[in-house]
């Protein structure tokens, strides 16, 4: 065990100032890769060993069990006495406080903590007439209310406009108290209640913890801030560590204003900025700083490093998502030593990379989610397709007949299978036979299911154009799966609908008939059956949110197009600023090399659509990046910006990159062959209205056209699959 002075000597000046600070409240603004964990653990040891602070009087809180465990272990390595420090997550500390004062809360010290499923079950006993989906919605809203420190008697208008919420919340809370248990939100809310309602207990607890340390403070919600406020008293020492530029969990209730307003909420606050970065090269840090500087809601700092090496980050302006994957494959095959991470905004973006990596035999790992074809919503949609292709497929039939719930339980399912013999193994036909003798609710459910299957079968038989993705869209709508997963996304903040849309994109390359269906299912099976070991992974696939706290030798940030990243902000400046912080987090994951890709078109809802580059790229000074090995293009607008305000793609075309929307890697030829849709041809599309072909080209034998519509929109189509029609004029 090192003497504390040796640990201090290993710190830089600002880190050392943060450790030695005492007296007033302290906000440590710790930039990405600046060694904040080292600072907070050395500070714990310094308080004990040098200032003689009783370890039992130190409370250190963070947000995950892993982070708390690491803090505990590193503090013990520096001071054996740190064993007595209370180092916990916010919720673990809340439970600790409640059990020691259970009687004051009218609880048994052995009370049970309800998880989401338990809370849902409790709501179901109170409201048996409501669907599980409705109850999930209320469960989520109650949790949000508790994170905002709101009880059932408070105004809940900011949580939801549902007039029933207050009644449901009150009934739920009343029953929870009668049972004598607590849910997850109570672990913060009830300690606040305890400290506010019992002055004797409050004084004892505040006297016990004279030092309060908080890590990752930018991730705190309103209730957690209120708990800290109740624990703090004049004369206590409070120190929070965080980075306002890395606050990216607003969807979980995190409040960036907690860290921004800390100096106003705690008198005489000192601010120490940790700006020396030990992770990334200087060019990467300069790029990160130029991006996040566009946010208004920040306290401000500038990361720097003593490293003098490092290439400029590269922006690759690509024609489409296939070219994006090709670009990444070329990077992976170079002689770079180290791990490459592919970052994206939504999980759905992993599909193309997974498919190509499997085809090319490139080992990869995917972090934070299942592989694309293993995801629940994808397996549900594929089960529909498999049953259409083979009505004897029992596994697919069992998976999908009662999802979403149609009142077809286990006994009804068993009854259907008694009709398999006369139906010659056809489960769909067996369900039709069973419907006549089934109970009314079951019969109605079977009829609804058969309507889905028969409708999809008819669509396949009578298809006169379009693509297979349209069959999936129809099946998802008819079956109720689309609405089912829309509701789940709304409740859980998940992206299941985006994953289903990506499945539609994958299917849009196949013909809308039985032959196309079988080919698509075969392609899925081949991809799913290729086994890999994560141990040999050359590449990591991961969403930007999941990269928080991680670092990689080389990072490729994909999908820098408006409405994909940043997502459509609907005029909410706070949402846009959080998206920009997410970009900053993604950039600062890179140690040595950074690439950013932006595509001119992507397949969306099964159609090729032209896209605008992300507005974030337009905020980057051109001298900070390279453009796929070329110098920055000329920009007639702002000379410090990558893009022209007039036409964000024009500069790229002038730099010799070709026309956006045309896939050069595919070997296509521009207008070498006279197609069915020559330039100037008037056309009509159901979604876009009338338009005119402005470019015609061929990708192999497939004609591809770019159309400018009366609305001013421009889009790219494969006529054979798009439902576009020729008209004489408009």
The pLDDT assigned to 219 comes to: 94
Q: Is 66 annotated as ligand-binding?
A: no
What per-residue string of b and e applies to 241-264 under the rule 16 or more CB within 10 Å gives b? bbbbbbbbbbeebbbbebbbebee
The mean predicted confidence, pLDDT, of the chain is 87
Q: Answer yes or no: are the C-beta atoms of 115 and 238 closer than 8 Å.
A: no
Q: Answer yes or no: are the C-beta atoms of 317 and 560 closer than 8 Å.
A: no
Angle of CA points 80, 72, 260, to nearest 5°: 125
E strands, 337-480, are 340-344, 364-367
Residue where the block lists tokens 């820098």: 560
pLDDT at 61 over 90: yes
| C-alpha radius of gyration, the chain, whole number | 29
**Candidates 49, 216, 326, 501; catalytic one:** 216
Residue where the block lists tokens 């005492």: 22
For the record, the structure tokens of 593 come out as 């090399």
The pLDDT assigned to 717 comes to: 76
Cα torsion 446, 448, 449, 450: sign: positive
| Closest to 408 measured CA to CA, from 446, 434, 435 | 446
What are the domain boundaries of the chain? 3-100+188-274, 113-179, 304-370+534-634+649-655, 372-526, 681-726
CA–CA dist 348, 435 (Å, integer):
38
The pLDDT assigned to 711 comes to: 66
Q: How buried is residue 594: exposed, middle or buried, by Cβ count under 10 Å (0-12/13-18/19+)? A: buried
0.95 exceeded by pTM: no
> Is residue 664 helix, strand or coil?
helix
Length, in residues, of the chain: 730
The CATH number that domain 304-370+534-634+649-655 falls under is 3.40.50.300
Cα 706 from chain centre: 32
pLDDT at 656 over 50: no
pLDDT at 727 over 90: no
Q: Which helix (H) or strand (E) holds 708?
A: strand 702-709
CA–CA dist 725, 643 (Å, integer):
35
Band (pLDDT 50/70/90 cuts) for residue 641 is very low
Band (pLDDT 50/70/90 cuts) for residue 637 is very low
3-state secondary structure 193-251: HHHHHCHHHHHHHHHHCCEEEECCHHHCCHHHHHHHHHHCCCCCEEEEEECHHHCCCHH
Is 714 marked active-site?
Answer: no
The pLDDT assigned to 651 comes to: 45
Is 246 marked active-site?
Answer: yes
Residues paired with 704 in a beta bridge:
697
Residues paired with 318 in a beta bridge:
599
**Candidates 183, 186, 215, 245; catalytic one:** 215
**Candidates 386, 496, 589, 610; catalytic one:** 589
On the CB side of 41, CA atoms within 13 Å amount to: 20
- Residues 551-578, mean pLDDT to the nearest whole number: 89
**Candidates 37, 133, 459, 483; catalytic one:** 37
Q: Answer yes or no: are the C-beta atoms of 325 and 353 closer than 8 Å.
A: yes
CA–CA dist 459, 512 (Å, integer):
8
CA–CA dist 111, 102 (Å, integer):
9
Is 215 marked active-site?
Answer: yes
User: Which residue did the predictor score with more confidence, 498 or 607?
Assistant: 498
CA–CA dist 215, 39 (Å, integer):
11
Q: Answer yes or no: are the C-beta atoms of 401 and 413 closer than 8 Å.
A: yes
Residues paired with 213 in a beta bridge:
60, 239
Q: Do domains 3-100+188-274 and 304-370+534-634+649-655 have the same CATH topology?
A: yes
3-state secondary structure 300-332: CCCCECCCCCCCCCEEEEECCHHHHHHHHHHHH
Is 216 marked active-site?
Answer: yes
**Candidates 246, 349, 498, 540; catalytic one:** 246
Helix, strand, coil shares, percent, the chain, to 5:
50, 15, 35
For the record, the structure tokens of 647 come out as 């036409």
| Closest to 545 measured CA to CA, from 247, 116, 214 | 247
- Residues 283-301, mean pLDDT to the nearest whole number: 95
Q: Which helix (H) or strand (E) holds 147?
A: helix 132-147
- Residues 549-568, mean pLDDT to the nearest whole number: 93
Lowest mean pLDDT among 149-153, 467-471, 583-587, 681-685: 681-685
CA–CA dist 488, 206 (Å, integer):
42
Band (pLDDT 50/70/90 cuts) for residue 492 is confident
The backbone torsions φ and ψ at residue 371, rounded to the nearest 5 degrees and listed phi first, read -60, 155
Residue where the block lists tokens 């987090």: 585
The pLDDT assigned to 493 comes to: 74
For the record, the structure tokens of 51 come out as 């200032």
Q: Is 348 annotated as ligand-binding?
A: no
CA distances from 238 to 58, 81, 196, 231 (A): 10, 20, 19, 10
Cα 441 from chain centre: 38
Cα 172 from chain centre: 30
| Closest to 113 measured CA to CA, from 134, 123, 101, 99 | 99
Angle of CA points 214, 218, 219, to nearest 5°: 90
For the record, the structure tokens of 285 come out as 């840090």
> Is residue 48 helix, strand or coil?
helix
Contacts of 199 (CB under 8 A, 6+ apart): none
The pLDDT assigned to 368 comes to: 85
Q: Which CATH number fits domain 372-526: 2.120.10.30, 1.10.486.10, 3.30.465.10, 3.30.565.10?
A: 1.10.486.10
CA–CA dist 496, 486 (Å, integer):
8
| Closest to 320 measured CA to CA, from 517, 599, 50 | 599
Band (pLDDT 50/70/90 cuts) for residue 543 is very high
DSSP string, 567-583: BP-TT-HHHHHHHHHHH
Q: Answer yes or no: are the C-beta atoms of 62 and 216 closer than 8 Å.
A: yes
pLDDT of 198-257, one tens digit each?
A: 999 999 999 999 999 999 999 999 999 999 999 999 899 999 999 999 999 988 889 999
> Is residue 10 helix, strand or coil?
coil
**Candidates 16, 36, 146, 301; catalytic one:** 36
For the record, the structure tokens of 462 come out as 């009578």
Q: Is 306 annotated as ligand-binding?
A: no
- Residues 180-197, mean pLDDT to the nearest whole number: 95
Q: At what angle do helices 496-507 and 468-479 cross, to 10 degrees?
A: 150
Q: Answer yes or no: are the C-beta atoms of 685 and 709 closer than 8 Å.
A: yes
Q: Answer yes or no: are the C-beta atoms of 666 and 653 closer than 8 Å.
A: no
Number of Cβ atoms within 10 Å of the Cβ of 481: 24
Q: Answer yes or no: are the C-beta atoms of 215 and 249 closer than 8 Å.
A: no
pLDDT at 636 over 60: no
The pLDDT assigned to 609 comes to: 87
Q: Is 537 annotated as ligand-binding?
A: no
Q: Is 148 annotated as ligand-binding?
A: no
Architecture of domain 3-100+188-274: 3-Layer(aba) Sandwich (3.40)
Q: Is 136 annotated as ligand-binding?
A: no
Q: Is 658 annotated as ligand-binding?
A: no
Q: Answer yes or no: are the C-beta atoms of 582 and 248 closer than 8 Å.
A: yes
Q: Is 30 annotated as ligand-binding?
A: yes
The pLDDT assigned to 709 comes to: 76
């Amino acid at each position: 065990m090192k003497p504390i002075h040796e640990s201090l000597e290993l710190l830089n000046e600002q880190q050392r100032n943060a450790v030695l600070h005492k007296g007033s409240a302290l906000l440590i603004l710790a930039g990405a890769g600046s060694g904040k964990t080292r600072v907070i653990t050395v500070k714990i040891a310094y308080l004990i060993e040098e200032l003689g602070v009783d370890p039992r009087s130190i409370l250190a809180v963070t947000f995950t069990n892993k982070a708390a465990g690491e803090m505990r272990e590193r503090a013990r390595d520096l001071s054996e006495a740190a064993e007595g420090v209370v180092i916990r997550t916010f919720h673990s500390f809340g439970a600790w406080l409640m059990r020691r004062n259970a009687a004051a809360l009218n609880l048994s010290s052995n009370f049970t903590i309800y998880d989401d499923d338990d809370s849902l079950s409790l709501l179901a006993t109170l409201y048996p007439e409501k669907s599980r989906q409705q109850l999930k919605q209320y469960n989520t809203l109650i949790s949000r209310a508790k994170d905002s420190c709101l009880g059932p008697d408070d105004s809940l208008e900011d949580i939801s406009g549902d007039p029933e919420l207050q009644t449901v919340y009150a009934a739920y809370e009343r029953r929870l108290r009668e049972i004598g248990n607590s849910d997850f939100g109570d672990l913060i809310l009830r300690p606040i209640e305890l400290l506010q309602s019992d002055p004797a207990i409050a004084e004892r607890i505040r006297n016990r913890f004279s030092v309060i340390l908080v890590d990752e403070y930018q991730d705190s919600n309103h209730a957690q801030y209120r708990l800290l406020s109740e624990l703090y008293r004049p004369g206590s020492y409070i120190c929070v560590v965080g980075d306002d530029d890395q606050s990216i969990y607003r969807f979980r209730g995190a409040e960036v204003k907690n860290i921004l307003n800390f100096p106003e909420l705690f008198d005489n606050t000192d601010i120490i900025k940790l700006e020396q970065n030990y992770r990334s090269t200087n060019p990467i840090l300069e790029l990160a700083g130029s991006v996040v500087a566009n946010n208004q809601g920040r306290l401000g700092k500038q990361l720097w490093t003593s490293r003098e090496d490092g290439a400029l980050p590269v922006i690759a302006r690509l024609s489409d998502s296939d070219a994006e994957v090709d670009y990444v494959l070329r990077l992976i095959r170079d002689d770079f030593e180290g791990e490459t991470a592919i970052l994206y905004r939504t999980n759905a973006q992993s599909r193309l990379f997974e498919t190509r990596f499997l085809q090319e035999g490139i080992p990869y790992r995917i972090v934070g989610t299942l592989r694309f074809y293993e995801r629940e919503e994808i397996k549900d949609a594929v089960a529909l397709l498999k049953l259409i292709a083979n009505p004897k497929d029992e596994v697919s039939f069992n998976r999908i007949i009662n999802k979403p719930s149609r009142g077809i339980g286990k006994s009804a399912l068993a009854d259907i299978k008694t009709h398999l013999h006369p139906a010659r193994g056809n489960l769909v036909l067996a369900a039709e036979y069973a419907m006549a003798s089934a109970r009314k609710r079951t019969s109605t459910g079977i009829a609804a299911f058969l309507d889905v299957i028969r409708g999809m079968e008819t669509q396949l038989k009578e298809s006169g154009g379009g693509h297979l993705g349209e069959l999936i869209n129809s099946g998802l709508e008819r079956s109720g799966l689309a609405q089912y997963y829309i509701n789940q996304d709304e409740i859980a903040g998940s992206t299941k609908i985006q994953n289903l849309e990506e499945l539609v994109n994958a299917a849009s390359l196949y013909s809308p008939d039985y032959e196309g269906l079988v080919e698509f299912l075969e392609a899925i099976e081949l991809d799913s059956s290729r086994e890999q070991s994560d141990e040999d992974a050359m590449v990591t696939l991961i969403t930007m949110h999941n990269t928080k706290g991680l670092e990689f030798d080389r990072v490729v940030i994909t999908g820098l197009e408006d409405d994909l990243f940043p997502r459509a902000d609907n005029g909410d400046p706070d949402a846009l600023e959080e998206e920009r912080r997410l970009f900053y987090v993604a950039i600062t994951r890179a140690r040595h090399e950074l690439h950013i890709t932006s595509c001119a078109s992507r397949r969306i809802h099964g159609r090729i659509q032209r896209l605008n580059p992300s507005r974030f790229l337009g905020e980057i000074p051109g001298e900070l990046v390279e453009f796929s090995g070329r110098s920055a293009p000329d920009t007639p607008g702002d000379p410090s910006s990558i893009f022209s305000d007039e036409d964000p793609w024009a500069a790229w075309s002038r730099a010799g990159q070709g026309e956006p929307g045309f896939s050069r890697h595919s070997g296509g030829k521009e207008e070498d062959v006279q197609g069915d849709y020559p330039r100037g041809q008037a056309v009509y599309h159901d979604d876009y209205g009338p338009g005119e072909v402005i470019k015609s080209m061929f990708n192999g034998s497939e004609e591809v056209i770019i159309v400018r519509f009366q609305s001013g929109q421009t889009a790219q189509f494969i006529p054979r699959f798009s439902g576009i029609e020729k008209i004489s004029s408009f």
